[in-house]
Amino acid sequence: MSSQFQRFIAAILLGGQVIVHILKGKFNYQNIIEQMAMVGPASLLIALVTSTTIGMVFTIQVAREFINIGAGQVVGGVLALSLTRELAPVLTAVVLAGRVGSAFAAEIGTMKVSEQIDALYILKTDPVDYLVIPRVIACCVMLPLLTILSIVTGMLGGLFVATSFFGMPGRVFLDSARNFLDAWDLCSAPIKAICFGALIAIIGCNWGLTTSGGAKGVGESTTTAVVTSLLAIFVSNFFLSWLMFQGSGSAVSKAM
């Protein structure tokens, strides 16, 4: 446990270093572009498939119950609120943590045990500038974009189910979504995604930088980085939701 606690403290310190280095504005743009390509386009398909199926399943479960109580006209709005506030940012971040966070930990961990990190110091290159900052920026830029696309595809999946399986008019579904959503709902998803992206990148990079023990250590770091990223996403999501959506809700009363 002491080793994990030390790595947790190191992750907090690395987060502070990232903030300082970003404020200095010294970026390796080539690395940033390479990491953005890895985080964004390479993760696009799995993120969209996930959001589409979630939107379809959610609509099945909600529509069948709401239609029974005569509230079928609000299904689109409930799905839109769920996707923008919680499902799209959280599930997209989970997908990215599994795919990208593990890759960060494995790649940097391999560099650590093979002494490539030490070689960067010899070349007077800061590993934070060269390895960590590009990954943090890539995640913070691409995850909000993936989240927005996930919201769109999730709504399309829900629309398909509502119109095909339950005979709901598409216009009613879309009007409900438009009436339920407000500007803050649409802003909350990218804000959450930026926070989740930073957590995924910092945790993945930190667990890579603190790897020891050869190939076995790389495997352990990769697994632990993913688990820690998921826990960080879920815990931070609670606090972000609590800060963003305090007070009584007004979406349903406004729409009705």
Tell me which residue range forms the domain holding 167.
27-242
- Copy the structure tokens of residue 103: 């890759």
Per-residue model confidence (pLDDT) at position 251: 57
The answer as to whether 4 is a domain residue is no
Closest CA to 116 of 18, 39, 125, 205: 125
pLDDT of residue 167: 86
The phi, psi pair for 211, rounded to 5°, reads: -75, 145
Q: What is the pLDDT of residue 247?
A: 64
Tokens describing residue 175:
């009007």
Q: In this predicted model, what pLDDT tens digit does every residue of 213-255 receive, in sequence order?
A: 888 889 899 999 999 999 999 999 999 999 988 766 655 555 5
Contact 236, 196 (CB under 8 A): yes
Structural domain count, the chain: 1
The reported pLDDT for the residue numbered 26 is 78
Q: Is residue 170 part of a domain?
A: yes
Range name among 20-34, 181-195, 197-211 with the lowest pLDDT average:
20-34
Report, as an integer, the average pLDDT of 95-112: 93
Residue 251 belongs to some domain of the structure: no
The secondary structure of 166-220, three-state, reads CCCCHHHHHHHHHHHCCHHHHHHHHHHHHHHHHHHHHHHHHHHHCCCCHHHHHHH
**Whole-number CA gyration radius for the chain:** 21
Express each pLDDT in 80-89 by its tens digit: 999 999 999 9
CA distances from 217 to 9, 66, 135, 182 (A): 19, 51, 21, 47
Tens digit of pLDDT for each residue in 60-73? 998 888 888 887 78
Helix 133-165 with 2-24: angle, nearest 10 deg: 100
Which is more confident, 249 or 9? Answer: 9
pLDDT tens for 122-147 read 888 888 999 999 999 999 999 999 99
pLDDT, mean of residues 101-128 = 90
In a domain, 233, yes or no: yes
Mean pLDDT of 26-54: 91
- Residue 99 is assigned to a structural domain of this protein: yes
State phi, psi for 196 to the nearest 5 degrees.
Answer: -65, -40
Average pLDDT over residues 152-171: 92
Q: Average the pLDDT over 72-77 and give the result.
A: 88
Is residue 118 domain-resident? Answer: yes
Q: Which of 250, 248, 234 is nearest to 77 (CA)?
A: 250
Average per-residue pLDDT in the chain?
A: 90
pTM score of the predicted model:
0.91
Q: Is 7 within a domain?
A: no
Residue 248 main-chain phi, psi, to 5 deg: -75, 145
pLDDT-derived band of residue 55, with 50, 70 and 90 as boundaries? very high
Q: What is the pLDDT of residue 47?
A: 93
pLDDT band at residue 2 using 50, 70 and 90 as cut-offs: low
- Compute the average pLDDT of residues 19-28: 86
Question: Is 220 within a domain?
Answer: yes
Mean pLDDT, residues 47-56: 94
Mean pLDDT of 194-220: 92
